């Protein structure tokens, strides 16, 4: 398996862990549990960011810039609902 494939799988796993920690933080019933989940979430988000940056640096994570007219159109659509 190539490095790119391993990094993609690792990123997906870490994103899933972030999701679990987020829900643990939201649903926690005590301050201690909330803090534990929140700290774990923040650490995992840092790991996710490092993986993303490494992949982007190697050209393995492509992003597209949104066209300004699409941004403006979406913005107007939601502002009209207020």
Q: What is the pLDDT along the chain (82 residues), one digit of tens a residue?
A: 799 999 999 999 999 999 999 999 999 999 999 999 999 999 999 999 999 999 999 999 888 888 999 999 999 888 887 7
Q: Helix (H, G, I), strand (E, B), or coil: what is residue 81?
A: coil
Q: Helix (H, G, I), strand (E, B), or coil: what is residue 80?
A: coil
Q: What integer pLDDT is reported at residue 17 of this predicted model?
A: 98
Q: What integer pLDDT is reported at residue 4 of this predicted model?
A: 93
Q: What integer pLDDT is reported at residue 29 of this predicted model?
A: 95
Q: What integer pLDDT is reported at residue 30 of this predicted model?
A: 97
Q: Which two tokens stand for residue 16?
A: 């899933």
Burial string for 17-51 (b: 16+ CB within 10 Å, else e) reads bbeebeebbeeeeeeeeeeebbebbeebbeebeeb
């Amino acid at each position: 398996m190539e490095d790119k494939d391993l990094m993609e799988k690792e990123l997906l796993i870490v994103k899933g862990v972030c999701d679990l920690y987020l829900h643990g933080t939201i649903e926690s019933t005590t301050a201690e549990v909330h803090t534990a989940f929140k700290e774990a979430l923040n650490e995992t988000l840092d790991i996710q960011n490092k993986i993303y940056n490494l992949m982007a640096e190697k050209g393995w994570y492509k992003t597209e810039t949104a066209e300004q007219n699409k941004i403006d159109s979406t913005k107007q659509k939601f502002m009209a609902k207020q």
